[in-house]
Amino acid sequence: MKVNENTIEQQCLESLQSLGWDYAFGRSEEMAAWRHSASDVVLEPLLREAVARLNPQLPESAVADVVKLVCRSDITELAERNRQAYFYGFVKVCGWSISLMMNKR
């Protein structure tokens, strides 16, 4: 089997889907409706909805702060934000502990 970017991507998608994650092809018309431009990496409206759903205790202003934090493009803090989000499943924003993941089990 030849290992290339597509091979790795497909294995990652299969693994994440087996853990309960949903997948949608980013270039589909359905996904295009959620983007401001084709270069957007984060689908902000979907992120906003998910943060609010997973954290019903948050006021809208805190949800907006979380979305802004996740979508920031400064690379200097990227590793730390990823570490917090993926290993701990939360980020602290304005004194709130924000869940970014939901255990589906």
Claim: this prediction has a pTM higher than 0.75: no
Residue 105, pLDDT score: 43
Q: What is the pLDDT of residue 56?
A: 93
Query: Which sign does the torsion angle of CA 42, 45, 46, 52 carry?
Result: positive
Q: State the burial class of residue 14 (Cβ atoms within 10 Å of its Cβ: 0-12, 13-18, 19+).
A: exposed
User: According to the model, what pLDDT value does residue 71 have?
Assistant: 81
Task: With a cut of 70, list the residues of the chain below it in pLDDT.
Answer: 73-78, 81-105
Q: Which residues neighbour 90 within 8 Å (Cβ) at sequence distance 6 or greater?
A: 84, 97, 98, 99, 100
Confidence (pLDDT) at 96 = 58
- 4 burial (CB, 10 Å; 0-12 / 13-18 / 19+) is exposed
